Amino acid sequence: MLRRRIGTRYSSAMNCRTSGPHPWANHPELLTSIRSPWDKFRKADWNFDRYEDAIMSRPCDSEAVVYTALDFCVAMVALRDWTRKTLTREVRQSGKALPAGMATLDDFPAFIAARVPWQSAIEAIANTIKHADYRDTGWENGTAMVASFVPDPLHAAKDACKDGLELFGFMHQHKDVAWWDIALRQVPSTEAEPGYVAFGDALDEWRAILDEFGYITD
């Protein structure tokens, strides 16, 4: 009897969903407390603060750095989605003018790519962690690996470490001044950008976009 009741209720819910959008479709705040792209930006900014705290901690916990960096990337992809959805709705329903550089709504991905150069890397990281396989669309052969950093006077000693084990010992020895971060690199290039720089730049660039769109409400 209990099984039959559950099945009936589930079937009714499914029928309701296929007949049209949920009546609360335009109220994501009922599940998130977030109402707008600006709210979503503030969430991403909060994630960046947690990531920054992890990098600045002494001793620096490499696991905390990685986890907070991943959370930040997921938040930034969600910010993209919230912004695109809000812009699309306002253009179609209220006649909002598109910003300079966008001829149609289909230009949104290219617009963001031009304004936020590290967005493709952020999306590759977020898509990979969400889907459990390597996805580098837009950032081919990209890697985001934890890397060690030290003050200038210690560079020579760090470079002299023969292997990873010796490096970890060195980092532990200098744990009061050494730190970990994410190094962003596209193979085969040897050039890498610290995540702190790339992610911070992306956050600043997104704030400028939201300002241009008129979405900053503070």
Residue 173 inside a domain? The answer is no
How many angstroms separate the Cα of 180 from the Cα of each of 54, 60, 119, 177? 9, 6, 22, 11
The Cα–Cα gap between 165 and 171 comes to 10
For Cα atoms 187, 190, 194, give the angle at the middle one, nearest 5 degrees. 95
Residue 46 included in any domain: yes
Counting the structural domains of the chain, the total is 1
Is 206 inside any structural domain?
yes
- In this predicted structure, what is the pLDDT of residue 17? 53
Calculated CA dihedral for residues 162, 168, 171, 173, nearest 10 degrees: -90
Query: What gap in Å lies between CA 87 and CA 209, rounded to an integer?
Result: 12
In a domain, 96, yes or no: yes
Residue 21 CA, distance from chain mean position: 28
Q: Which two tokens stand for residue 80?
A: 């993209």
Q: Is residue 107 part of a domain?
A: yes
Is 59 inside a domain boundary?
yes
| 5 within a domain of the structure (yes/no) | no
Domain assignment present for residue 116? The answer is: yes
Domain of 69, in residue numbers: 33-140+193-213
Q: Dihedral angle at the C-alpha atoms of 148, 131, 188, 110, nearest 10 degrees?
A: -110
pTM as predicted: 0.87
Residues of the chain with pLDDT under 70: 1-18
